[in-house]
């Protein structure tokens, strides 16, 4: 088995890896690091949780340690672009951990944080700049940063970058980079748009692709219910003994806030994290969730990409995602580090098309078509009618009303698990 020591990484990095408890590289790390240490460009494709961050941060740190230079004002040597603030922060944290024994400076420039402090940081000089595209473009326009000395360029989670509409910002940024550089692209999926972008920006890259696998330790199921029944079902699930902490995904920011209001009204501890929250609010919500002070974190996809928290027992897809690949990213937030986890998706009649797209991508079938013959995990036998109407479909109110409606709703639900 390959070890980090056998990869030839610098001694300060190996010491830091031991302190972090890392002994052996993951498959993508073992495949990518040797090529990157040789200075080759790389196109890495692997799903969430595969160890992509260390796959590019470790060789980047090695190169900077082996070729030391004093950090210059306004001129970073390495640039890492990520789609979200949370992912940028986690990349910075990993760089600080792995580079603890090196005299390197890493700076973070993201939206939602004071831009003047970021300008001062760049003015003092940083070796590695971790940034979100929008904020970096703002700083470039104001003449607060120069990219003409960048030797290493990393574009992380490229597929989400494009989903979020950052293609123009990416092209504006890459146009200012020197041609003589090492470039790395990492993505969970590889649609044609990314293939074209990679061809235009990478030089004869090494392609490292990890075979996509369905998460083996995640118990996936679907509830076929109406929109009005969702909050009651969520409340009851969160009261269950197996539910220790959960990530709940909402399609919209307004929807996330509404879910939190209902959960808190029912006596459950919940906070929201989305694009309308300030950076301070998002950091406090994440800290409370990690510590266990908040058991439920309700998030939109934009805010949740990059969240890596151990011990999440449940992922609840309150709304099914429009992009099927997002489903894989979402459920990958549970069952981390070899643990087991549970994923429950709510599917209203209006969301059947999204469910079918997820089934085509994952190769799973959850039933629920015309006959809905899948077996249930509860005591009710037979299929559940997806279009049930009547008094039970009224939107539950908060407090006691939510609890009563939750009991009534959950007892009539059918969990549809993959048909094998």
**pLDDT at residue 121 is higher than 50:** yes
CB contact at 8 A, 317 and 344: yes
Distance in Å from the first CA to the final CA of the chain: 34
Domain with residue 105: its CATH number is: 3.40.50.300
The listed range with the strongest mean pLDDT (191-205, 237-251, 311-325) is: 237-251
Tokens linked to 416: 């549809």
Average pLDDT (156-161) is 86
- Kindly state whether residues 230 and 359 are assigned to the same domain: yes
CB 232 within 8 A of CB 408: yes
Q: Three-state DSSP class for 18?
A: helix
Same domain, 203 and 229: no
Segment among 7-21, 43-57, 133-147, 371-385 with least mean pLDDT: 371-385
- Report the interhelical angle of 167-174 vs 192-201 (nearest 10°): 10
Choosing from 171, 188, 209, the residue where a domain stops is 209
Q: Higher-confidence residue: 28 or 363? A: 28
Would strands 218-224 and 341-347 be described as parallel, antiparallel, or unpaired?
Answer: parallel
- DSSP string for residues in 210-265: PPP---TTEEEEEEE--GGGHHHHHHHHHTSTT-S-EEEE-SSHHHHHHHHHHHHH
Quote the pLDDT of residue 303: 58
Q: Name 52's Cβ contacts closer than 8 Å, sequence gap at least 6.
A: 28, 44, 46, 156, 186
Judge if 277 and 178 occupy the same domain.
no
Edge to edge, what strands does the sheet with 206-209 contain? 106-109, 128-131, 78-81, 152-155, 182-187, 42-45, 206-209
Phi/psi for 326 (5° steps) reads -65, -30
Which pLDDT value is given to residue 216?
A: 54
Q: What is the mean pLDDT of residues 306-310?
A: 71
Q: Which residues contact 115 (CB under 8 A, 6 or more apart)?
A: 135, 138, 139
Assess whether 192 and 225 both reside in one domain. no
Q: What is the pLDDT of residue 400?
A: 44
Task: From 180, 209, 238, give the residue that closes a domain.
Answer: 209
Domain final residue pick, 209, 235, 251: 209
Instruction: Please report which helix (H) or strand (E) contains residue 270, including its range.
Output: strand 270-273
pLDDT digits (tens, 9 = 90+) for 31-53: 999 999 999 999 998 766 678 89
In this predicted model, what pLDDT tens digit does every residue of 160-202 receive, in sequence order? 888 788 999 999 999 999 999 999 998 877 778 888 888 999 9
Q: Which of 141-150, 157-166, 301-310, 330-339 is the least confident region?
A: 301-310
Structural domain total, the chain: 2
Under the banding of pLDDT at 50, 70 and 90, the label for residue 328 is confident
Which residue from 25, 376, 78 is spatially nearest to 208, judged by alpha carbons? 25
SS3 content of the chain, % helix, strand, coil (to 5): 40, 15, 45
The neighbouring-strand residues paired with 79 are 129, 153
Most confidently predicted of 80-84, 143-147, 163-167: 143-147
The answer on 182 and 148 residing in a single domain is yes
pLDDT digits (tens, 9 = 90+) for 90-102: 899 899 999 998 9
Residue 261 Cα to chain centre, angstroms: 24
Q: Does residue 391 have a pLDDT over 70? A: no
Residue 115 scores a pLDDT above 90: yes
Q: CB count, 10 Å around CB of 264? A: 15
Give the tens place of pLDDT for each residue, 270-300.
999 987 888 788 889 988 998 999 999 999 9
> What is the percent of the chain where pLDDT is above 70?
82
Contact 57, 4 (CB under 8 A): no
pLDDT band, residue 23 (cuts 50/70/90):
confident
With a cut of 60, say whether residue 377 has pLDDT above it: no
Which range has the worst mean pLDDT, 138-142, 179-183, 311-315?
A: 311-315
- 285 and 316 belong to one structural domain: yes
Does the pLDDT of residue 405 top 80, yes or no? Answer: no
Is the domain of 148 the same as that of 242?
A: no
Same domain, 205 and 293: no
Confidence of residue 387 (pLDDT cuts 50, 70, 90): very low
Spatial separation of the C-alpha atoms in residues 352 and 15, rounded to whole Å: 51
Based on the fold, state whether residues 184 and 241 are members of the same structural domain: no
pLDDT of residue 337: 61
pLDDT tier for residue 413 given thresholds of 50, 70 and 90: very low
Cα angle value 64/147/141 (rounded, 5°):
150
Q: Which domain holds residue 224?
A: 218-416
pLDDT digits (tens, 9 = 90+) for 248-268: 999 999 999 999 999 999 999
**Residue 62 pLDDT grade (very low, low, confident, very high; cuts 50, 70, 90):** very high
Tell me, yes or no, if the pTM score tops 0.75: no
pLDDT of residue 304: 59
Same domain, 73 and 153: yes
In this structure, are 329 and 268 located in the same domain? Answer: yes
Greater confidence (232 vs 216) lies with 232
My answer on whether 59 and 25 are in the same domain is yes
């Amino acid at each position: 088995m390959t070890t980090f020591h056998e990869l030839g990484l610098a001694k300060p990095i190996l010491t830091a890896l031991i302190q972090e408890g890392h002994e052996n590289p993951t498959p993508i790390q073992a495949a990518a690091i040797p090529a990157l240490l040789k200075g080759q460009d790389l196109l890495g494709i692997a799903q969430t949780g595969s160890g992509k961050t260390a796959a590019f941060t470790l060789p980047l740190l090695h190169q900077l340690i082996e070729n030391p230079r004093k950090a210059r004002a306004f001129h970073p040597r390495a640039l890492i672009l990520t789609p979200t603030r949370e992912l940028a922060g986690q990349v910075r944290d990993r760089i600080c951990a792995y580079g603890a024994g090196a005299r390197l400076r890493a700076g973070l420039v993201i939206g939602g944080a004071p831009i003047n402090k970021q300008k001062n940081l760049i003015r003092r000089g940083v070796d590695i700049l971790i940034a979100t595209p929008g904020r970096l473009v703002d700083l470039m326009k104001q003449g607060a940063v120069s990219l003409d000395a960048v030797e290493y360029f990393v574009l992380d989670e490229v597929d989400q970058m494009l989903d979020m509409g950052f293609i123009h910002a990416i092209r504006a940024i890459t146009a200012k980079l020197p041609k003589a550089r090492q470039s790395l692209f990492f993505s969970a999926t590889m649609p044609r748009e990314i293939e074209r972008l990679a061809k235009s920006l990478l030089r004869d890259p090494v392609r490292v692709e990890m075979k996509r696998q369905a998460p083996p330790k995640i118990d996936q199921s679907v509830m076929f219910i109406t929109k009005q029944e969702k909050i009651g079902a969520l409340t009851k699930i969160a009261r269950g003994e197996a539910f220790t902490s959960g990530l709940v995904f909402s399609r919209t920011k307004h929807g996330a806030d509404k879910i939190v209001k209902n959960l808190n009204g029912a006596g459950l501890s919940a906070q929201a994290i989305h694009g309308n929250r300030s950076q301070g609010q998002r950091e406090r919500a994440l800290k409370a969730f990690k510590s266990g002070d908040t058991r439920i974190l309700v998030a939109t996809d934009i805010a949740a990409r990059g969240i890596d928290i151990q011990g999440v027992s449940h992922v609840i897809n309150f709304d099914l995602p429009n992009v099927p690949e997002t489903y894989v990213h979402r459920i990958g937030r549970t069952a981390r580090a070899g643990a087991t986890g549970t994923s429950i998706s709510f599917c209203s009649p209006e969301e059947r098309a999204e469910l079918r797209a997820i089934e085509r991508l994952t190769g799973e079938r959850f039933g629920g078509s015309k006959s809905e013959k899948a077996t249930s995990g509860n005591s009710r036998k037979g299929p559940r009618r997806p279009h049930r109407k009547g008094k039970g479909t009224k939107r539950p109110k908060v407090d006691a009303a939510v609890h009563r409606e939750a009991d009534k709703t959950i007892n009539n639900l059918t969990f549809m698990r993959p048909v094998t």
